[in-house]
Amino acid sequence: MTAAERLDLLVFGPHPDDIEIGLGGSIAKHTAAGHRVGLCDLTRGELGSNGTVEERAAEGQAARDVLGAAFRDTLGWPDGGIGGDAHVREAASYIRRQRPRAIAIPHWHDRHPDHLAASQTLTRAIFNAGLRKFDADGDPWRPAWVCYYFINDTSPVSFVVDVSAHYEIKRRALACYGTQFTATAPGAVETRLTSPRFAQLIESRDAQFGALAGVAYAEGIVVREPVIREGLLK
């Protein structure tokens, strides 16, 4: 793998649009800084009330372009059926192939069963990908650390990322998902996502994290290990 191909950050999402909801600003910030970022949707979102699989795939690629990510893949797992040893093995093989410096996955507390299952399955896959004797394709690989981001629910964070300067890019990436956040297409139905209050919910959460840190917008991150600082001075 050449330096140009080396992956700095790999972000997993259960469905197309989850990555942008939780981490769109941080992804835009990293790509703007020259980091190579890859995106991977676990499912195609086929159980979504609105939009076809093809439409959602096109929306995801459009959002990838807006965020500046190097690529966007999908593992094609069944929507509503995330989990099991086969998925752990497949995700571990994918991680070994991509060899990212850092991985971001959904937080383990979330009201959506798929988000919870994604967090649990990917946590296992990341750990097992680093085991020499684990039965998966590729050589063992362990990222420097794993970051957990929020899609729906929140909890105390380990740190926040100031995304104020890149928040308009996050808005543009979310706007790519017209089938999910508007109900204007023929046959579309109103859902929690199509309500203007859902966009308000995302922004109010990011604004609250920002206000706590003294900036306009921030995205909350949880890590399981201590964050090292040089001392007590800010």
Provide the CATH number for the domain around residue 103. 3.40.50.10320
For residue 134, is it within any domain? yes
For residue 175, is it within any domain? yes
Residues spanned by the domain of 141: 9-222
For residue 231, is it within any domain? no
For residue 4, is it within any domain? no
Q: What is the pTM of this model?
A: 0.96
Q: How far is CA 87 from CA 45, 92, 173, in A?
A: 16, 8, 28
CA 10 to CA 72: how far, in whole Å?
10
**pLDDT at position 164:** 98
**pLDDT at position 1:** 57
Strand partners, 38: 10, 71
**pLDDT at position 4:** 60
For residue 234, is it within any domain? no
CA 213 to CA 233: how far, in whole Å?
16
Amino acid at 102: A
For residue 3, is it within any domain? no
For residue 97, is it within any domain? yes
**pLDDT at position 50:** 93
**pLDDT at position 187:** 84
Task: Provide the number of structural domains found in the chain.
Answer: 1
For residue 195, is it within any domain? yes
pLDDT along the chain (234 residues), means of 10: 79 98 98 98 96 96 98 98 98 98 97 97 98 98 97 94 98 96 86 90 97 98 94 90
What letters, b where the CB count within 10 A reaches 16 and e where it falls short, cover 78-98?
A: ebeebbeeebbbbbbbbbbeb
Mention every residue, 6+ apart, whose C-beta is less than 8 A from residue 137.
Answer: 93, 96, 97
**pLDDT at position 2:** 60
